[in-house]
Amino acid sequence: MNKVEDLFQRFTWLSLDVVFGAMGGMLFFSKLLRTPLDWSIYVVLGMAVWAIYTLDHLLDARKIETDVQMDRHGFHRKHANLLWTMLIFVVILGMYGAFTIFGFGMELGGGVILGAVILLLMSLIRLLPTSFHWLKEINTAIFYVAGVSLLPFIRFSFSDWTWEIGFILAGYIGLAYLNLVMLSYLDADKDKSSGFGSLVSVLSKEKVSLTIRILSYGIILVFLMGFIFLSSFYRVFSCMILLMGLIHFVTFYDKSLSSNQIRLRMEATFFLPWLLLFW
């Protein structure tokens, strides 16, 4: 692994790729719904996403052996004390920022309720039998997109709703789900040995592989049609989902890449919505 890949690896272990991907997702929906947002709102979202993902990884890290190889969970176990301290600091700072920006109202209330529901479901899924572990990826995908699109939708006038918005929203959820299923497939052996549940805990790798192909083909074909037939405004967003889906598909099936390289490239795909800053 070269220095750039090593640096980005640690960037992903800290979930900063998810943070910037989520901020890009909020920009995506802000542009889609034509609801401009101040930069400070993106920072608060980033803090919330980092806190949720870091808490999840710290809890998972407690399950693994002390001498585990250095990966995301090994990193969180090794630096647990520092990360818990950072987590508390970020939560306090994020809450202060949220109160300062939003005050007491629907926007803050919606964010708090969504955050509480996410944490509750995260806890419940951990307690459920293995047969329910397939819920992990779909639950994460839905609430990930709900989180990044919540504020744009709260500020959106639903009298302006069109079926194209629902089409794009469903596509983004599908893309997030595809990403998570692909990652579960790559991590199947490691997750099994560490006792972590996922879709691969319920289905065989062959069935998960078939699911990945169906999802990939579906996203690519549907959003290619969207790019061709939608109006010019929505065509931009359909093209974005199409491009992200293509990158996932090509990267996942590239035999010359290691599983770690595949993971890094797929996670970086969610930085693409930042291009909408120039549109």
Q: Can you list the domains of the chain with their CATH numbers?
A: 3-278 (1.10.600)
* pLDDT at residue 70 is higher than 70: no
* pLDDT at residue 199 is higher than 80: no
pTM for the model stands at 0.88
Range name among 46-50, 89-93, 103-107, 162-166 with the lowest pLDDT average: 103-107
Q: Is 105 or 84 the better-scoring residue by pLDDT?
A: 84
* pLDDT at residue 202 is higher than 80: no
Q: Over the chain, what HEC string results? A: CCHHHHHHHHHHHCCHHHHHHHHHHHHHHHHHHCCCCCHHHHHHHHHHHHHHHHHHHHHHHCCCCCCCCCCHHHHHHHCHHHHHHHHHHHHHHHHHHHHHHHCCCHHHHHHHHHHHHHHHHHHHHHHCCHHHCCHHHHHHHHHHHHHHHHHHHHCCCHHHCCHHHHHHHHHHHHHHHHHHHHHHHHCHHHHHHHCCCCHHHCCCHHHHHHHHHHHHHHHHHHHHHHHHHCCHHHHHHHHHHHHHHHHHHHHHCCCCCCHHHHHHHHHHHHHHHHHHHHC
Q: Is 67 or 259 the better-scoring residue by pLDDT?
A: 259
Sole residue written with tokens 């083909």: 217
pLDDT in tens, 122-162: 778 777 776 676 778 888 899 899 999 999 999 999 889 99
pLDDT in tens, 207-249: 889 999 999 999 999 999 999 999 999 999 999 999 999 999 9
* Residue 253 banded pLDDT, cuts 50, 70, 90: very high
